[in-house]
Protein backbone atom coordinates (compact mmCIF):
# COMPACT_ATOMS: atom_id res chain seq x y z
CA UNK A 1 0.00 0.00 0.00
CA UNK A 2 1.37 3.36 -1.06
CA UNK A 3 2.28 5.93 1.61
CA UNK A 4 1.83 9.68 1.27
CA UNK A 5 4.90 11.72 0.37
CA UNK A 6 5.84 15.19 1.54
CA UNK A 7 4.51 16.63 -1.74
CA UNK A 8 1.18 14.83 -1.23
CA UNK A 9 0.97 16.24 2.28
CA UNK A 10 1.63 19.78 1.04
CA UNK A 11 -1.40 19.60 -1.28
CA UNK A 12 -3.62 17.96 1.33
CA UNK A 13 -2.77 20.79 3.71
CA UNK A 14 -4.28 23.29 1.26
CA UNK A 15 -7.52 21.29 1.40
CA UNK A 16 -7.49 21.25 5.21
CA UNK A 17 -7.42 25.07 5.43
CA UNK A 18 -11.23 25.14 5.63
CA UNK A 19 -11.10 23.28 8.97
CA UNK A 20 -9.40 26.23 10.66
CA UNK A 21 -11.73 27.98 13.07
CA UNK A 22 -14.01 24.92 13.29
CA UNK A 23 -14.79 22.92 16.44
CA UNK A 24 -13.30 19.49 17.12
CA UNK A 25 -16.57 17.69 17.71
CA UNK A 26 -15.67 14.01 17.99
CA UNK A 27 -12.61 11.75 18.11
CA UNK A 28 -12.82 8.05 17.26
CA UNK A 29 -10.59 5.10 16.43
CA UNK A 30 -11.31 2.02 14.32
CA UNK A 31 -10.37 -1.55 15.22
CA UNK A 32 -7.46 -1.47 12.75
CA UNK A 33 -5.89 1.66 14.27
CA UNK A 34 -7.27 4.45 12.06
CA UNK A 35 -8.08 7.72 13.87
CA UNK A 36 -11.07 9.86 12.88
CA UNK A 37 -11.49 13.52 13.88
CA UNK A 38 -14.82 15.23 13.24
CA UNK A 39 -13.93 18.90 12.74
CA UNK A 40 -16.85 21.10 11.79
CA UNK A 41 -18.82 19.12 9.21
CA UNK A 42 -15.74 17.27 7.85
CA UNK A 43 -13.97 14.14 9.04
CA UNK A 44 -10.18 13.98 9.08
CA UNK A 45 -8.65 10.50 8.82
CA UNK A 46 -5.20 9.63 10.13
CA UNK A 47 -3.48 6.29 9.65
CA UNK A 48 -0.08 6.53 11.41
CA UNK A 49 2.85 6.32 9.03
CA UNK A 50 0.58 6.06 5.99
CA UNK A 51 -1.94 8.85 5.34
CA UNK A 52 -3.75 11.98 6.51
CA UNK A 53 -6.71 13.31 4.54
CA UNK A 54 -10.40 14.18 4.61
CA UNK A 55 -12.71 11.20 4.17
CA UNK A 56 -16.28 10.51 3.15
CA UNK A 57 -16.04 6.84 4.14
CA UNK A 58 -18.41 5.62 6.84
CA UNK A 59 -15.87 3.85 9.03
CA UNK A 60 -16.98 2.09 12.21
CA UNK A 61 -15.21 2.96 15.45
CA UNK A 62 -14.52 0.52 18.28
CA UNK A 63 -17.22 0.26 20.95
CA UNK A 64 -14.75 0.73 23.80
CA UNK A 65 -12.04 3.34 22.97
CA UNK A 66 -8.63 2.87 24.59
CA UNK A 67 -7.12 5.20 27.18
CA UNK A 68 -5.21 7.21 24.58
CA UNK A 69 -8.38 8.04 22.63
CA UNK A 70 -10.16 8.81 25.90
CA UNK A 71 -7.40 11.26 26.84
CA UNK A 72 -7.62 13.00 23.44
CA UNK A 73 -11.39 13.28 23.81
CA UNK A 74 -11.13 14.77 27.27
CA UNK A 75 -8.54 17.35 26.23
CA UNK A 76 -9.61 18.25 22.68
CA UNK A 77 -13.32 17.66 22.03
CA UNK A 78 -15.23 20.92 22.01
CA UNK A 79 -12.11 23.00 21.33
CA UNK A 80 -11.43 25.06 18.20
CA UNK A 81 -8.85 24.08 15.59
CA UNK A 82 -7.36 27.54 15.23
CA UNK A 83 -4.41 26.73 12.94
CA UNK A 84 -3.40 23.78 10.78
CA UNK A 85 0.12 23.79 9.39
CA UNK A 86 2.83 21.51 8.10
CA UNK A 87 6.34 21.48 9.55
CA UNK A 88 8.60 22.69 6.73
CA UNK A 89 10.35 19.84 4.94
CA UNK A 90 8.81 17.14 7.15
CA UNK A 91 5.90 14.73 6.91
CA UNK A 92 4.41 16.33 10.01
CA UNK A 93 1.16 18.27 10.36
CA UNK A 94 0.10 20.14 13.52
CA UNK A 95 -3.33 21.32 14.57
CA UNK A 96 -3.12 24.09 17.18
CA UNK A 97 -6.22 24.79 19.26
CA UNK A 98 -7.34 28.21 20.41
CA UNK A 99 -6.14 27.25 23.90
CA UNK A 100 -2.67 26.48 22.39
CA UNK A 101 -2.56 22.69 22.65
CA UNK A 102 -1.00 21.06 19.59
CA UNK A 103 -2.11 17.79 18.03
CA UNK A 104 0.86 16.49 16.03
CA UNK A 105 0.46 13.99 13.18
CA UNK A 106 3.76 12.32 12.24
CA UNK A 107 3.72 10.27 9.04
CA UNK A 108 7.37 9.22 8.78
CA UNK A 109 8.54 5.71 9.77
CA UNK A 110 5.69 3.97 11.64
CA UNK A 111 4.04 7.30 12.40
CA UNK A 112 2.91 8.83 15.65
CA UNK A 113 0.10 10.94 17.12
CA UNK A 114 1.14 13.34 19.87
CA UNK A 115 -0.70 15.79 22.09
CA UNK A 116 1.58 18.68 23.12
CA UNK A 117 0.54 21.11 25.85
CA UNK A 118 0.85 24.88 25.79
CA UNK A 119 4.12 24.46 27.74
CA UNK A 120 5.65 22.40 24.89
CA UNK A 121 5.63 19.12 26.83
CA UNK A 122 4.23 15.84 25.51
CA UNK A 123 0.98 15.15 27.37
CA UNK A 124 0.24 11.93 25.49
CA UNK A 125 1.63 10.02 22.51
CA UNK A 126 0.51 6.97 20.58
CA UNK A 127 3.94 5.43 21.01
CA UNK A 128 7.21 6.32 22.69
CA UNK A 129 9.95 7.13 20.19
CA UNK A 130 13.68 7.57 20.81
CA UNK A 131 14.98 7.30 17.24
CA UNK A 132 17.02 9.94 15.44
CA UNK A 133 18.54 11.54 18.54
CA UNK A 134 15.27 12.79 20.06
CA UNK A 135 12.91 11.42 22.70
CA UNK A 136 9.14 11.50 22.29
CA UNK A 137 7.65 10.46 25.62
CA UNK A 138 5.17 11.77 28.16
CA UNK A 139 6.33 14.91 30.03
CA UNK A 140 9.34 15.32 27.73
CA UNK A 141 9.71 18.51 25.67
CA UNK A 142 8.45 17.84 22.16
CA UNK A 143 11.01 18.46 19.42
CA UNK A 144 10.83 18.00 15.67
CA UNK A 145 13.34 15.65 14.02
CA UNK A 146 16.70 17.12 13.03
CA UNK A 147 16.40 18.80 9.64
CA UNK A 148 18.11 17.06 6.72
CA UNK A 149 18.85 18.49 3.25
CA UNK A 150 15.78 17.70 1.18
CA UNK A 151 14.41 19.04 -2.11
CA UNK A 152 10.70 18.38 -2.54
CA UNK A 153 9.85 17.49 -6.13
CA UNK A 154 6.62 18.69 -7.70
CA UNK A 155 5.58 17.63 -11.23
CA UNK A 156 5.41 20.23 -13.99
CA UNK A 157 1.67 19.72 -14.36
CA UNK A 158 -0.31 18.70 -11.27
CA UNK A 159 -3.45 16.57 -11.34
CA UNK A 160 -5.05 14.38 -8.66
CA UNK A 161 -5.03 10.94 -10.25
CA UNK A 162 -5.42 7.30 -9.29
CA UNK A 163 -3.90 4.70 -11.58
CA UNK A 164 -5.86 1.45 -12.01
CA UNK A 165 -5.02 -2.01 -13.33
CA UNK A 166 -6.85 -3.87 -16.08
CA UNK A 167 -9.49 -4.96 -13.56
CA UNK A 168 -10.22 -1.36 -12.61
CA UNK A 169 -8.55 -1.73 -9.19
CA UNK A 170 -6.58 1.26 -7.83
CA UNK A 171 -2.87 0.43 -7.74
CA UNK A 172 -1.30 3.87 -7.09
CA UNK A 173 -2.00 7.58 -6.79
CA UNK A 174 -0.05 10.53 -8.11
CA UNK A 175 0.14 14.31 -8.42
CA UNK A 176 1.74 13.97 -11.84
CA UNK A 177 -0.76 14.62 -14.64
CA UNK A 178 1.62 12.89 -17.07
CA UNK A 179 0.98 9.55 -15.35
CA UNK A 180 -2.72 9.73 -16.20
CA UNK A 181 -5.43 7.68 -14.53
CA UNK A 182 -8.78 8.43 -12.98
CA UNK A 183 -8.92 12.15 -12.14
CA UNK A 184 -10.48 13.74 -9.05
CA UNK A 185 -11.33 17.32 -8.11
CA UNK A 186 -9.23 17.17 -4.94
CA UNK A 187 -6.34 15.12 -3.62
CA UNK A 188 -8.37 14.10 -0.56
CA UNK A 189 -11.01 12.57 -2.85
CA UNK A 190 -8.33 10.72 -4.82
CA UNK A 191 -6.72 9.39 -1.63
CA UNK A 192 -10.09 8.40 -0.17
CA UNK A 193 -10.89 6.41 -3.31
CA UNK A 194 -7.46 4.75 -3.49
CA UNK A 195 -7.28 3.65 0.16
CA UNK A 196 -10.93 2.57 0.37
CA UNK A 197 -10.30 0.09 -2.44
CA UNK A 198 -7.09 -1.49 -1.19
CA UNK A 199 -7.04 -5.16 -0.35
CA UNK A 200 -5.17 -6.53 2.65
CA UNK A 201 -1.52 -7.03 1.73
CA UNK A 202 -0.30 -10.61 1.46
CA UNK A 203 2.49 -11.88 3.69
CA UNK A 204 5.01 -11.38 0.87
CA UNK A 205 3.81 -7.83 0.24
CA UNK A 206 4.05 -6.98 3.94
CA UNK A 207 7.59 -8.40 4.12
CA UNK A 208 8.59 -6.38 1.05
CA UNK A 209 7.05 -3.21 2.53
CA UNK A 210 8.89 -3.75 5.84
CA UNK A 211 12.17 -4.30 3.97
CA UNK A 212 11.62 -1.11 1.98
CA UNK A 213 10.85 0.81 5.18
CA UNK A 214 14.13 -0.36 6.74
CA UNK A 215 16.05 0.63 3.61
CA UNK A 216 14.44 4.08 3.66
CA UNK A 217 15.39 4.51 7.33
CA UNK A 218 18.97 3.46 6.56
CA UNK A 219 19.09 5.90 3.64
CA UNK A 220 17.81 8.75 5.84
CA UNK A 221 20.48 7.92 8.44
CA UNK A 222 23.22 7.87 5.80
CA UNK A 223 22.03 11.18 4.35
CA UNK A 224 22.19 12.74 7.81
CA UNK A 225 25.73 11.38 8.29
CA UNK A 226 26.81 12.74 4.90
CA UNK A 227 25.30 16.13 5.74
CA UNK A 228 27.23 16.18 9.02
CA UNK A 229 30.50 15.26 7.26
CA UNK A 230 29.88 18.02 4.72
CA UNK A 231 29.32 20.56 7.51
CA UNK A 232 32.57 19.48 9.22
CA UNK A 233 34.42 19.68 5.89
CA UNK A 234 33.13 23.24 5.34
CA UNK A 235 34.26 24.25 8.86
CA UNK A 236 37.77 22.82 8.34
CA UNK A 237 38.03 24.49 4.94
CA UNK A 238 37.01 27.85 6.42
CA UNK A 239 39.55 27.49 9.24
CA UNK A 240 42.30 26.56 6.76
CA UNK A 241 41.39 29.59 4.65
CA UNK A 242 41.76 31.90 7.67
CA UNK A 243 45.16 30.42 8.56
CA UNK A 244 46.31 30.81 4.93
CA UNK A 245 45.23 34.48 4.85
CA UNK A 246 47.24 35.21 8.03
CA UNK A 247 50.32 33.19 7.09
CA UNK A 248 52.39 36.13 5.75
CA UNK A 249 51.47 38.27 8.77
CA UNK A 250 52.43 35.49 11.20
CA UNK A 251 55.66 34.76 9.36
CA UNK A 252 56.66 38.43 9.58
CA UNK A 253 55.73 38.55 13.26
CA UNK A 254 57.92 35.53 14.06
CA UNK A 255 60.81 37.03 12.16
CA UNK A 256 60.48 40.29 14.12
CA UNK A 257 60.41 38.49 17.49
CA UNK A 258 63.49 36.40 16.60
CA UNK A 259 65.36 39.54 15.48
CA UNK A 260 64.55 41.49 18.67
CA UNK A 261 65.54 38.56 20.89
CA UNK A 262 68.88 38.32 19.03
CA UNK A 263 69.42 42.02 19.68
CA UNK A 264 68.85 41.43 23.40
CA UNK A 265 65.45 43.17 23.68
CA UNK A 266 63.51 42.45 26.86
CA UNK A 267 60.12 40.70 26.89
CA UNK A 268 58.45 44.01 27.78
CA UNK A 269 60.09 45.79 24.82
CA UNK A 270 59.10 43.01 22.44
CA UNK A 271 55.49 43.09 23.65
CA UNK A 272 55.28 46.85 23.10
CA UNK A 273 56.58 46.39 19.57
CA UNK A 274 54.17 43.57 18.63
CA UNK A 275 51.09 44.94 20.39
CA UNK A 276 49.67 46.09 17.02
CA UNK A 277 49.72 42.44 15.92
CA UNK A 278 47.43 41.58 18.88
CA UNK A 279 50.24 39.31 20.09
CA UNK A 280 52.45 38.97 23.14
CA UNK A 281 55.52 37.01 24.21
CA UNK A 282 55.26 35.00 27.41
CA UNK A 283 58.48 33.14 28.18
CA UNK A 284 59.23 30.84 25.27
CA UNK A 285 55.65 31.13 23.93
CA UNK A 286 54.17 33.56 21.44
CA UNK A 287 50.45 34.19 22.05
CA UNK A 288 48.35 35.58 19.19
CA UNK A 289 44.72 36.71 19.39
CA UNK A 290 42.72 35.12 16.58
Give the mean pLDDT of 83-108. Answer: 95
- Over residues 21-73, the pLDDT tens digits come to 999 999 999 999 999 999 999 999 999 999 999 999 999 998 788 999 999 99
Contact criterion met (CB below 8 Å) for 170 and 197? yes
- Over residues 240-255, the pLDDT tens digits come to 776 666 676 777 888 8
pLDDT at position 62: 87
- Over residues 161-220, the pLDDT tens digits come to 999 999 999 999 999 999 999 999 999 999 999 999 987 654 555 566 667 767 877 887
Q: Domain of residue 33: give its range.
A: 6-133
Residues 116 and 187 in one domain: no
Residues 18 and 121 in one domain: yes
Confirm whether 192 is domain-assigned: yes
Residues 191 and 220 in one domain: no
Residue 129, strand partner residues: 136
The residue among 81 and 150 whose pLDDT is bigger is 81
| Domain tally, the chain | 3
**Long-range CB contact pairs, 162-169, < 8 A, 24+:** 162/190, 162/193, 162/194, 169/197, 169/199
Residues 102 and 180 in one domain: no
Answer yes or no: is pLDDT of 114 > 80: yes
pLDDT at position 171: 95
Residues 221 and 263 in one domain: yes
Residues 194 and 208 in one domain: no
Residues 192 and 259 in one domain: no
Residues 93 and 125 in one domain: yes
pLDDT at position 17: 96
Residues 226 and 190 in one domain: no
Residues 17 and 80 in one domain: yes
pLDDT at position 206: 59
Residues 51 and 106 in one domain: yes
Residues 21 and 103 in one domain: yes
| Domain termination site, one of 149, 171, 199 | 199
DSSP E strand boundaries for the chain: 22-29, 35-39, 42-47, 51-54, 80-86, 92-97, 102-106, 112-116, 122-125, 158-164, 170-176, 182-184, 279-282, 285-288
Q: C-alpha distances in angstroms, 139 versus 119, 126, 176, 217?
A: 10, 14, 42, 27
Q: What is the CATH number of the domain that holds 112?
A: 2.30.310.10
For residue 38, count other CB atoms closer than 10 A to its CB. 16
Confirm whether 85 is domain-assigned: yes
Confirm whether 147 is domain-assigned: no
Amino acid sequence: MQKMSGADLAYVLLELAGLQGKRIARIRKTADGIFLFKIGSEELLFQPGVRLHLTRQALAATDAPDGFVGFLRKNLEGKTAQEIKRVEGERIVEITTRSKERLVFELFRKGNLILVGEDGLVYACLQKDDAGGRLVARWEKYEHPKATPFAQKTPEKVAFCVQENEKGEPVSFSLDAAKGGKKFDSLCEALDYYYANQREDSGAQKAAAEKMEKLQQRLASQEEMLAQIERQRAEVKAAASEVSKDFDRLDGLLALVRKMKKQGASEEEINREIASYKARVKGAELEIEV
